[in-house]
Amino acid sequence: MAVSIKIGLQQNQKLVMTQSLKQSIEMLQLSTVDLAELISRELVENPILEEDAVVSPDEENGDIFQRITNRLSGDDSLSERFEERSSAYSDASDSGYPRDSDGEDRTRALIENAEARAESLIEHLLSQARIMSKNDRELALLEEVITSLDERGLLGVPLETIALEMGASIEEVRAAMRQVALLDPPGCGALDIRESLEMQALAKYPDEEMLHAIIGRYFKELESLDYERIAKGLGVTLAEVVEKSRLLHSLNPFPGRAFSASGTRYIVPDLEVKIAGDELLITLIDDWIPRIRINGYYARMLRKKSIDKNLRSYIKDRMQSARDLLKNISNRRDTILRVTGAIMLHQKEFLLKGQGFLRPLTHAEIAREVGLHESTVSRTTSNKFAQTPWGTFELKYFFASRLKGGGAGEVSSDNVMNAVRDLIAREDAACPLSDEEILEKLRYGGIDCARRTVAKYRGIMGIPPSAMRRKLNMIKNEVKA
């Protein structure tokens, strides 16, 4: 058999995620508090940036990126302050940062005085992914999965959305999810609690087949502590099921919560939403975030032909990093306002009348309206809270699934939950309403849904079944007596 060697050209697409794009994706998910921390950290780490302490009203209303990059041409006052400071760079062992008149290194002082900052879940996982990934494409998929996680460590967007955005197959995305689940903390990247526990059990207890079966096949029974049904289904004793179920105490249903701030969590609104007449007003509450700009002194240094080659390269790199940060801050601001505006136009009735008037809404609808990808909308609404006339709500609250309503067309899942809650609150304590009876009352009120939907929403609200409510009421009466 003859063997021939041929030279040919093959064109293929390679997915490369730039550092700027990574920062943009991560920044979009940050709350205003977290963004302020990021900017403060960048002020310390990048000497090209400086805090713009005074911002005029005209500048405040202008385009952030354009306003700051325009300063690259220099500022006369800055020129007067820094013109004679080139001697600070004469020593090769110098830090490379301009010094104040007393000779103290400004940046070093900032670093020494900076507070220690806890690593976030996303940062912790990304640092591990960059070490374990075999190639750029695998890393890009891992980063996409990781940056799509919510604060619980669970995947916040559908698999199909990630696959479409990355030009990957569902199996490739699932493979990336399995890899993320093996990182620390284990179990991150799952679609739901069951899958997270299943991933953790496979990693921590690889030989415990009964435990795997309990989680994988009998999770509903496990939630309701129906050990008898599990034992019957597996053909084992009740004692064996109880023993294996105890292993679950070493697993974490929300692995990402370990990275949440300890103690009381205070909600800081990111936006204020209100209606004045017929006008919808949306304001970003970010006045206390550090306003930053590029130090014009360094731009002038680059124009000097005598500047050291290595120093020039360093300043150019830091300058590009500063520009990327400013651009991403501006893009984040614009995206949040666009997405929030579209959401609130749909939920205008809620703003006028309150919680009972939330309309059905999906991420896909908003994505189509604002011309963004569904995953971008999901990231934009993560960790963001809006202050409304009816209280402060997370932006994700305004997305509600559709259910059939009688003559009123469609109703949101939030309205159904409110209706279920109200019916149970008014029920006879001696004879609580069953899910079937609640369903009949909902249908009489014009809401058409299934009995399992009632049971699901009752469970979400932490309300026990009617039999358990009856027992609890009897216990309360006995205690009172």
pLDDT of res. 310: 87
Strand segments, DSSP code E, in 285-340 are 292-294
What are the structural domain ranges in the chain?
121-259, 402-480
Instruction: Single out the residue of 85, 442, 385 nearest to residue 265, CA to CA.
Output: 385
Assigned token pair, 258: 């370990």
pLDDT of res. 337: 94
pLDDT of res. 110: 33
Q: Which residues are bridge partners to 93 per DSSP?
A: none
| pLDDT tens digits, 21-48 | 888 888 888 888 889 888 988 988 888 9
8 Å CB contact between 199 and 181: yes
Low-confidence ranges of the chain (pLDDT < 50): 55-117, 261-264, 406-408
Q: Which residues are bridge partners to 410 per DSSP?
A: 404
pLDDT of res. 272: 93
Q: How far is CA 210 from CA 218, 250, 453, in A?
A: 11, 16, 30
pLDDT of res. 101: 40
pLDDT of res. 234: 92
Written as one letter, the residue type at 450 is A
pLDDT of res. 266: 60
Cβ atoms within 10 Å of 194's Cβ, excluding its own: 16
| pLDDT tens digits, 353-399 | 886 678 888 888 999 999 998 888 988 988 889 999 888 888 988 88
CA–CA dist 371, 368 (Å, integer)? 5
CA–CA dist 221, 227 (Å, integer)? 7
Is 426 exposed, middle or buried (CB count within 10 Å of its CB: 0-12, 13-18, 19+)? exposed
8 Å CB contact between 377 and 366: yes
8 Å CB contact between 448 and 403: yes
Sheet containing strand 402-405, strands side by side:
409-412, 402-405, 447-448
Which class is domain 402-480? mainly alpha
pLDDT of res. 8: 58
pLDDT of res. 457: 76
pLDDT of res. 4: 58
CA–CA dist 346, 191 (Å, integer)? 28
8 Å CB contact between 259 and 265: no
CA–CA dist 28, 320 (Å, integer)? 20
